[in-house]
Amino acid sequence: MRIGNKNIGGDEPVFIIAELSANHNGSLETALKTIKAAKRAGADCIKLQTYTADTITLNSKKDDFLIKGTIWEGKNLYNLYEEAYTPWEWQKELFDAAEKEGLIIFSSPFDKTAVDFLEDLNAPAYKIASFEITDIPLIEYVASKGKPVIISTGIAEKEDIELALDACNRMENKDVALLKCTSSYPAPIEEANMKMIKEFSERYNVISGLSDHTMGNTVPVVATCFGAKIIEKHFILDKSIGGPDASFSMDEDEFAAMVKAVREAEKAIGKIDYSLTEKQKKGKDFARSIYVAEDIKAGETYTEENIRSVRPGFGMHPKYLKDYLGKKAGKDWEKGDRFLG
């Protein structure tokens, strides 16, 4: 998969996305500053959301449209999305600002009009949000554009995932990634279930990754160790500005620490390799080997007392010790000599 100037998957570094979401808090200036901060924090990409309250829900006061059981408890859906949406008239400027910073930028569309709008902005990829994974017509329309499709699985059961993948396949779009996601805000760490990262990649032969709502770095690092190639985290300029997503978003310092931890985890994972570096070979100086532990005269018998396996490692390999025990010395030895047979 390639998005913008980045190859994703294989041995490439994890692709790290800073999710702007509602963290502009109604201010274009804040959104622009957030893009600059994401670049400083080490993000590869900034991601927007492209919807209006009218394209994502209905302006209804019925009980069905009242949010229950989340951090937005008691809010009306329409009112929440009116507060949270990123004005479409900003988005060209945000795209330009991100590109100026050297960041990739794309968005989550929530209906066909948003896809058409983002096509006009030359969005290099699309993200399907967790709650839209069941919107098969939307996924088909997104996939039909022939660009990479990243799908979050926060509310998905196995059938939902397979229906979404089938929708992409019908549009002959194989450039698909699945992100493990827990749609709780914030998400409990015990529900992260990072084993699904490997499950997605192996079962569905796709790039897999993480869209994370837990607090802190732990889950992104674990995801990296399980093979995640994409990590997405909500990013905010300053938590003190508040807003619908502030409580589970990372500020610049937190995000930078996460990026550092992920990059260190990548280095630690390494590769399957039984060879030693020159520094590791030097460490063999401290390995065990056979040394003369007591003075020995020619003709005396080698015993466990006068030849021993000890540090350092310049003598004969310890695997040969038993071969010499009970045999006669062919010459004089001094205590501390390397035993070389």
* Average pLDDT score over the chain: 95
The per-type count for the chain, helices as H runs and strands as E runs, is 12, 12
Radius of gyration of the chain (CA): 29
What's the confidence (pLDDT) of residue 113?
98
Q: Please, what are the domains in the chain?
A: 8-269 (3.20.20.70), 278-324 (no CATH)
**φ and ψ of 104, to 5 deg:** -75, 145
Residue 185 has pLDDT above 90, yes or no: no
Q: What stretch of H or E contains 26? A: none
Q: Tell me what pLDDT residue 303 has.
A: 97
Please report the DSSP string for 182-197 in residue order: --SSSPPGGG--THHH
Distance from the Cα of residue 223 to its chain's centroid: 5
H-state helical runs in the chain: 28-41, 53-56, 77-84, 88-101, 112-120, 136-143, 158-170, 195-204, 218-225, 252-269, 278-282, 321-324
Is the model's pLDDT at 192 over the cut of 80? yes
- Mean pLDDT for 273-282 is 90
Task: Calculate mean pLDDT across residues 6-29.
Answer: 95
Q: Is the pLDDT of residue 187 over 80?
A: yes
Q: Once rounded to an integer, what is the mean pLDDT over residues 224-250?
A: 92
Measure the CA angle with vertex 190, ends 189 and 196; round to 5°: 95
**Residue 141 confidence (pLDDT) above 90:** yes
Residue type, 126: Y
Q: What is the mean pLDDT of residues 321-338?
A: 97
Of 13, 59, 46, 49, nearest to 228 by C-alpha is 13
Stretch 117-122: mean pLDDT, rounded?
98
What single letter denotes the amino acid at residue 147?
K
Strand pairing partners for 178? 151, 208
pLDDT in tens, 92-108: 999 999 999 999 999 99
Q: Residue 1 — very low, low, confident or very high, per pLDDT cuts 50/70/90?
A: very high
Query: Does the pTM exceed 0.75?
Result: yes
| The two structure tokens encoding residue 61 | 């006061």
Residue-level pLDDT at 206: 97
Backbone angles phi, psi at 330, to 5 degrees: -90, 0
- Position 182 scores a pLDDT of 87
Q: What is the rounded CA–CA span in Å between residue 264 and residue 278?
A: 21
pLDDT tens, position by position, 44-99 = 999 999 999 999 999 999 999 998 887 788 889 999 999 899 999 999 999 999 99
- Flag whether pLDDT at 126 surpasses 90: yes
> Does the pLDDT of residue 184 top 80, yes or no?
no
Judge whether 22 and 84 are in contact, CB under 8 Å: yes
